[in-house]
A and B are shown apart, each in its own frame.
Chain A
Amino acid sequence: MTSLPTCGTCRPARAVPDKLRGVNAAYLFALPAVALIAIVVLAPIAVVILLSFSNYSLGATDWSLVGIGNYAQLVHDRSFLNALSNTALYVSVVVSMSVLLGLLLAILVHGTGRLRRLYEVIFFLPVASTLVALGLVWKFMLHSRIGPINELIAALGLQRIDFFNNPSIAIFALAAIGVWHLVGFNMILFLAGLTGIPRDLYQAAAIDGADGFWDRLFRVTWPMLGPTTIFVTITSTITAFQVFDTVAVITHGGPAGSTDVILYQLYQASFQYFETGYASALTVVFLIIMMAISAVQIFAARGVHYS
């Protein structure tokens, strides 16, 4: 280095040890993110946990800590338990159907050659579109009397279905919309997974005798999609747990509370009833559920990781 001719434009900053300059820049670069993570993630979580032990309500001048009172109320709150079970039902339907259909669509679309792009576009369209708008559309598509779907059902000579005004059906109708919205997303993930399966694995399997559709599926495709399947299942679960838009647009939790889900209840308690303490406890429970799902993901990802 010293033998190189010195150049006029070289700054004296060269003299500063590289390491030190790197450190300064690193702090500078990390600072905005650190500040934001503190303000929008850490502080609110701390506050919400604190509030969950209080009887605070927005605008109130005095408030006090009430211990686990809010949680006790939650455990005995019929509407909370109802929302919890509705959400669980919704999640189980949406996750199982959107994962299975996503896989099926991916397998069908994979290997359609030039039409693959077109199918991808079509199935992904719901993901890119505004759920509030399409939720409104679905509300009238599934209208019990004049909705086109019911017109079709009636034309086939079948009994009309009260999609949104029968408490035992409404949550499934919402779940169907959830699947409709999510399946393209999952299909893309599965397609990526399918593309990642080496071709000669199928050839090896064919020579070993696994050349039927089911043997290929069970021996190669499905196991090789293991990591993808776990990931898709987890993301679908997280998405499904956060169902809100369709409830807010279509059913408002009805009929008879059959579509009241956790997030809708959280929204109502927080921003319509302003029962801040109770809502905070609800938030903490919601947080714990979501963290648990994430933990499952991390755990499961460790278990099934190839290469």
Chain B
Amino acid sequence: MTGSAVRISKIAKGYGASRVLRDIDLAVDAGEFMTIVGPSGCGKSTLLKILAGLDQPDGGSIEIGGESVNQLRPSQRNIAMVFQSYALYPHMRVRDNLAMPLIMADLPFVARMPVIGPLVPGMSAKRRQISSTVRDVSKSLGIEALLERKPSELSGGQRQRVALGRAMVRQPGVFLMDEPLSNLDAALRTQVRTELVQLQKRLNATFLYVTHDQVEAMTMSDRIAVMMDGRIVQVATPAEIYAAPADIRVARFIGSPPINILPANIGEAGIVGLLGESQNLRTALRAGEKAQVGIRPADVTVAAHTRARGASSSHEGRLLHTENLGNEIILHLTLAGDRQVPFTARLPQREWATIQASGGNPNLVQVGLPAERFLVFNAAGRLIPSKGVQVSKRLEAVS
């Protein structure tokens, strides 16, 4: 079984005056794990529902497996969906929940009717086929022992698996997942995350996974589509998204702790000025344009206050407090200067221990900002390509 490719073109949706989706384009390859991530209210769930056929777009088209599904009902689109609440049928046993999609697909209307349904002749082969599929799927998910239970008798993790199983039985071209992990506790979430990825690889299925949790997006996906305000801002691999976020909002959204954003000036020849100093970085921006610079906390270098290290620019940082993550430490600082800019840095615990051992003022550190790691965004928040250059340390401030 191989998943189907999905192509979404110019999907738009609005309720009254508010535009929920604005011309969404997205192509998902067959067998790909694509995550749509974004803050709540960005329209990602609506997009998923439109994809499933549960909601109608105002315009645009959807192709699944190369076929247009615009006119097809949800059940005809060769998709399966796992809901945030799992949406298991509470009145049915696990077995019947799993069998439901097959019954609907394989049995004629009369045979599905209550009471008279079982009396319809000639259905026993189909029924046997259904129950063997259910058995196989439940075995692969390790939920065979739960088949006779009702959803109310299951734990959260078990329900999640049943929901997954219900999606699997029909062997769909595309799995649609609407925040399937958000109702699980933290430990379980990490575990299921891994399992889901393994499952996806094993089935070689196409997963379209919606979440607001950037950690899920980063850890599970082949590619990530970041959605903001009804638009897809960037589609790229996790590494790309992290290293080169196309938009300042994406930069802010991805990464933990969040990226540091500092206001910057653009000097002559597009040289970036930060915290009153010219940086060894040239951009395509013109002099005098407003810009912002993003620096990942992990890219910041920290040294004891007493001796500065060879960074392109070094500043005094005042320590507000520290968060100890065990192997790593997060420093919350303010950078010295006219403006008290809040700033975070992330460094290995061992390094921090060395700094502390070196003596000096315990509340002050030397912060290095490596210019080659800067992400420069223009006034509209778009990422601007930049190139490292060597500039003289002091430059006239551009007013």
A and B touch in the complex (CB under 8 A): yes
* Chain A residue, CB-CB nearest to B100: A208
Chain B nearest Cβ from A281, distance in angstroms: 40
Bound CA span A208–B172, Å: 11
* Chain B residue, CB-CB nearest to A307: B152
A204 at the interface (CB under 8 A from B): yes
Bound CA span A220–B96, Å: 13
B201 at the interface (CB under 8 A from A): no
A residues near B92, Cβ cutoff 8 Å: 223
Chain A nearest Cβ from B260, distance in angstroms: 39
A301 at the interface (CB under 8 A from B): no
Tell whether, in the assembled complex, residue A208 and residue B152 are in contact, meaning their CB atoms are under 8 Å apart. no
B residues near A262, Cβ cutoff 8 Å: none
Bound CA span A210–B114, Å: 14
A residues near B152, Cβ cutoff 8 Å: 306-307
Which among B54, B73, B113, B150 has the greatest number of chain A C-beta atoms within 10 A? B54
Bound CA span A208–B74, Å: 8
B residues near A209, Cβ cutoff 8 Å: 74-75, 101, 104-105
Chain A nearest Cβ from B183, distance in angstroms: 12
Interface positions, chain B 357-399, Cβ under 8 Å from A, are none
A296 at the interface (CB under 8 A from B): no
B residues near A218, Cβ cutoff 8 Å: 112-114
B residues near A204, Cβ cutoff 8 Å: 81, 83, 87-89, 166
A219 at the interface (CB under 8 A from B): yes
Binds B, one of A11-19, A102-110, A195-203: A195-203
**In the complex, which of the residues A198, A207, A215, A306 contacts B54, with contact meaning CB atoms closer than 8 Å?**
A207
Tell whether, in the assembled complex, residue B91 and residue A203 are in contact, meaning their CB atoms are under 8 Å apart. no
**In the complex, which of the residues B73, B85, B91, B113 contacts A206, with contact meaning CB atoms closer than 8 Å?**
B73
Bound CA span A203–B50, Å: 11
Tell whether, in the assembled complex, residue B75 and residue A198 are in contact, meaning their CB atoms are under 8 Å apart. no
| Given A206-B74, A207-B52: A201 in contact with B87 (beta carbons within 8 A) | yes
Bound CA span A198–B75, Å: 19
B residues near A200, Cβ cutoff 8 Å: 83-85, 87
Tell whether, in the assembled complex, residue A307 and residue B101 are in contact, meaning their CB atoms are under 8 Å apart. no
Tell whether, in the assembled complex, residue A203 and residue B81 are in contact, meaning their CB atoms are under 8 Å apart. yes
Tell whether, in the assembled complex, residue A207 and residue B75 are in contact, meaning their CB atoms are under 8 Å apart. yes
Tell whether, in the assembled complex, residue A207 and residue B80 are in contact, meaning their CB atoms are under 8 Å apart. yes
A224 at the interface (CB under 8 A from B): yes
Tell whether, in the assembled complex, residue A206 and residue B54 are in contact, meaning their CB atoms are under 8 Å apart. yes
Tell whether, in the assembled complex, residue A198 and residue B87 are in contact, meaning their CB atoms are under 8 Å apart. yes
Chain B nearest Cβ from A210, distance in angstroms: 5
B22 at the interface (CB under 8 A from A): no
* Chain A residue, CB-CB nearest to B113: A218
Which among B49, B87, B109 has the greatest number of chain A C-beta atoms within 10 A? B87
Tell whether, in the assembled complex, residue A224 and residue B83 are in contact, meaning their CB atoms are under 8 Å apart. no
B residues near A201, Cβ cutoff 8 Å: 87, 89
B79 at the interface (CB under 8 A from A): yes
B297 at the interface (CB under 8 A from A): no
**In the complex, which of the residues A198, A215, A304 contacts B85, with contact meaning CB atoms closer than 8 Å?**
A198
A residues near B85, Cβ cutoff 8 Å: 198, 200
* Chain A residue, CB-CB nearest to B85: A200
A211 at the interface (CB under 8 A from B): yes
* Chain B residue, CB-CB nearest to A224: B91
Bound CA span A199–B75, Å: 17
B53 at the interface (CB under 8 A from A): yes
**Given A203-B81, A207-B81, 18 other A-B residues pairs in contact with their CB atoms under 8 A:** A200-B84, A200-B87, A203-B54, A204-B88, A206-B52, A206-B53, A206-B74, A207-B79, A208-B166, A210-B75, A210-B100, A210-B104, A211-B75, A218-B112, A218-B113, A223-B92, A306-B150, A307-B90
Residues of A within 8 A of B (CB): 198, 200-201, 203-211, 214-215, 218-220, 223-224, 226, 304, 306-307
Closest 4 CB pairs of A and B: A209-B104, A209-B75, A306-B90, A204-B87
